Amino acid sequence: MAADANVPPGVARARAALKDVPHQPGAKKPDAILVADKVVRRFGGLTAVNVGHIEIQRGAITALIGPNGAGKTTFFNLLTGFDKPNEGDWTFNGSPLGGVAPHKVARKGMVRTFQLTKALSRLSVIDNMRLGATGQKGESFWQGLVPALWKAQEQEITARADELLARFKLDAKREDFAGSLSGGQRKLLEMARALMVQPDMVMLDEPMAGVNPALTQSLLGHVKSLREDGMTVLFVEHDMDMVRDISDWVIVMGQGEVIAEGTPDTVMADPRVIDAYLGAHHDGTAHDPDEVAAEVEGGKSHE
């Protein structure tokens, strides 16, 4: 791509790196931070995830899209240790991550946020942030760990938490219960909390869902800034305008499999992708077909 003074360095770097990658499911990337092979997760008779091969390019923003029920959240759960596959393995930064518990995955530099936010509503914003430093495992783990960690690192952790709260404009809410925040502020808190472990890769499951339009731009800006800071982002999102706006690369899942990959423009024009959304409608799982076709084709964004 031509050098353009208006293109931020992180964007130019990511797009140049992906320029020659074939637009094919499972395509090899020049510098993959995450590589997964034959990852299968069944629920009874349903195969929710069946990913043959996937590579995520370091330093890029990759969108994972697909109709409801395609297996995106389940795939996130597997990769981050919140669920176990029936088969498959994957490496992150070259080391195997299959079977590794979520807090250890986080400490290896891969963190995720949830489709439904998991901020602990009865804790203050600042305490949610401090707990993020332990690698976002659930309650029982950090109750044991935190006291020891506190003694050694409390000040450093608090300083980092305050820095992130300022960056995410949540500093005024520092002492408030997380439960008192708006949906959008909770998404911001969750993203800020994920950054407490100074990750290499951030996985965001529907970061914009339920976010008031006033906060959407700010959230998008934060996601873009992660790329400028050299982080890798993998995110699930339904809004195709946002996918188009922020992603360097798009991977499409349908019925558990990767069915297409490429730049946002090629993927959204791909008949297989449109079919996948329509197919999901026929099983009664999602979406009005006309709306979906318009959305996938990007009709909304190109007036």
Ligand X SMILES: Nc1ncnc2c1ncn2[C@@H]1O[C@H](COP(=O)(O)OP(=O)(O)O)[C@@H](O)[C@H]1O
Given 10, 25, 59, 66, the residue binding ligand X (CB under 6 A)? 66
CB nearer ligand X, residue 59 or residue 254: 254
Which residues, 6 or more positions from 132, have their beta carbon under 8 angstroms from its beta carbon?
161, 192, 193, 194, 195, 196, 197
**Count of positions on this chain that bind ligand X (CB under 6 A):** 11
Binding flag, residue 211, ligand X (CB under 6 A): no
Per CB under 6 A, 272 contacts ligand X:
no
Tokens representing residue 34 in the block: 């995450």
* Residue 20 CB partners (closer than 8 Å, separation 6+): 30
152 to 181, contacts with Mg ion by CB under 5 A? none
Choices 3-11, 43-51, 103-111, 267-275 (CB under 6 A): range interacting with ligand X: 43-51
Return the CA Rg of the chain.
19
Q: Which does 216 bind (CB under 5 to 8 A by kind): ligand X, Mg ion, none?
A: none
Residue among 33, 61, 70, 131 that touches ligand X (CB under 6 A): 70
Q: How far is CA 139 from the centre of its chain?
A: 22
Does 85 bind ligand X (CB under 6 A)? Our answer is no
- CA–CA gap between residue 201 and residue 224 (Å, rounded): 13
Find tokens 């088969």 and name the residue.
87
Q: Which of ligand X, Mg ion, none does 48 bind, CB closer than 5 to 8 A by kind?
A: ligand X
From the list 69, 81, 262, 279, which residue makes contact with ligand X (rule: CB under 6 A)? Answer: 69
According to DSSP H, which parts of the chain are helical?
9-18, 72-79, 102-107, 125-132, 139-167, 183-194, 213-228, 240-246, 264-268, 271-282, 289-296
Say how far apart CA 231 and CA 66 lie, in whole Å.
24
| Residue located via tokens 């597997």 | 78
Angle of CA points 252, 254, 255, to nearest 5°: 150
CA-nearest of 214, 215, 125 to 164 is 125
Q: Does position 80 bind Mg ion by CB under 5 A? A: no
User: Which of 50, 57, 74, 185 contacts ligand X by CB under 6 A?
Assistant: 74
Among 72, 107, 173, 187, binds ligand X (CB under 6 A): 72
Residue corresponding to tokens 């969108």: 63
Stretch that binds ligand X, among 27-35, 42-50, 152-160, 257-265 (CB under 6 A): 42-50
Q: Is 159 in the site for ligand X (CB under 6 A)?
A: no
207 binds, among ligand X, Mg ion, none (CB under 5 to 8 A by kind): none
Closest to ligand X by CB, 147 or 284: 284
Site mask for Mg ion (CB under 5 A), range 58-77, x = bound: ---------------x----
CB-nearer residue toward ligand X: 170 or 286: 286
Indicate which single residue of 73, 136, 185, 247 sits in contact with ligand X (rule: CB under 6 A): 73
The binding site for ligand X (CB under 6 A) comprises 43, 46, 48, 66, 68-74
